[in-house]
Structure 1
Amino acid sequence: MKMQLQVLGDKTAIFLSSLCVIHCILTPILVIAIPSLGGVFWLEHEVFHNLLLFFVVPVGLLALMAGYKHHHNHKVLLCGLTGLVMLTLIAIAGHDFLNERSETLITLLATVFILFAHIKNFQLRQHD
């Protein structure tokens, strides 16, 4: 049961992180392609990130901790926590200190950390 919960957590975190990457990549493309959507997408951009963060952090923490208890791989845990902290800081204060492009790039980098950690977490769990 614990393994199923951890696997579900990793898969959910991978899905949510992938959704964030898709959103970050597609939003600028859609705004350029259809300029009238610009106001709607940028307004919703902040709401989307905060809503996603509301789910990513708890799911990510639970899955990473459950995996760590099993495999004890510090690097995987540190990688995932680094991504979650980066994502949280960007969501809270990124718009105050960074321009839109920098905020998006750091968000994508944080998401890559999170994705990598959950994929490794999942693989290490499947190995045993």
Structure 2
Amino acid sequence: MKFFNTQLTIDKFAGTVSLVCALQCLLMPSFFIATSGLVSLSIDNEFVHSIILLIAVPVSLFALFLGLKNHKNKLIFLIGLLGLIVLIAAFFFAKIFFGENEEILFTVLGSMMVIYAHYRNHETCKEIQCKSCHD
């Protein structure tokens, strides 16, 4: 599968999925208000969030491991891994221990960390013009 062999492509995709996760978390309450709850009755926000998370975590882990293998930059990998841990913890525990606002805060924070890690992987790949990323 040539599509998933390139570091640049997988980092762009993983970063985009993380951005969608953050935007969904931030904009879904506004969507509910704007539609006066009519459309929102059929949309389960937690279900959408879980689907995005189920896509974001494995894709991001794959991209981060590829970046670690290709670039040997442990800091980028650790930032991305910590961001994923924050995202997972926000989904499962933030609402229980804190509240919905804190869940949103932690989700956005985790997403931004993951997006930053993918951005750094992408930029590192372009800076050093590594052949393993572009094959």
TM-score range, shorter chain: 0.7 to 0.9
Task: Give, in whole Å, the separation in 2 of the partners of 1:4 and 1:122.
Answer: 14
After TM superposition, the structure 1 = structure 2 runs for residues 32-51 of structure 1, keeping only pairs within 5 Å, are 32-37=33-38, 40=41, 44-51=44-51
Task: Give, in whole Å, the separation in 2 of the partners of 1:109 and 1:12.
Answer: 19
* 2:73 alignment counterpart: 73
Alignment gaps of 5+ in structure 1: none
* 1:57 alignment counterpart: 57
Q: Which has the higher helix share?
A: 1
Task: Give, in whole Å, the separation in 2 of the partners of 1:2 and 1:33.
Answer: 38
**Alignment: residue pair count:** 127
Deviation at 1:2, TM superposition (A): 9.2
Deviation at 1:6, TM superposition (A): 2.1
Instruction: For residues 8-40 of structure 1, give each alpha carbon's deviation from its aligned partner in whole angstroms, at most 9, with x where no partner exists.
Output: 211111110111122122112222223324853
The reply to whether residue 21 of structure 1 matches residue 22 of structure 2 is: yes
Task: Give, in whole Å, the separation in 2 of the partners of 1:64 and 1:109.
Answer: 18
Alignment gaps of 5+ in structure 2: 129-135
Instruction: Assess, with a 3 A threshold, how the Cα gap between structure 1 residues 35 and 77 changes in structure 2: closer, same or farther.
Output: same
| 73-82 or 16-25, larger mean C-alpha shift | 16-25
Instruction: Assess, with a 3 A threshold, how the Cα gap between structure 1 residues 46 and 116 changes in structure 2: closer, same or farther.
Output: same
Percent identical: 31
Poorly superposed stretches of 4+, deviation over 6 Å: none
* 2:105 alignment counterpart: 105
Deviation at 1:50, TM superposition (A): 1.0
Give the residue type in structure 2 aligned to 1:89. A
Contact 1:30 1:37 in 2 (8 A): no
Contact 1:68 1:74 in 2 (8 A): yes
Task: Give, in whole Å, the separation in 1 of the partners of 2:38 and 2:75.
Answer: 41
Task: Give, in whole Å, the separation in 1 of the partners of 2:41 and 2:78.
Answer: 36
Contact 2:25 2:49 in 1 (8 A): no
- Secondary structure in 1 aligned to 2:77? helix
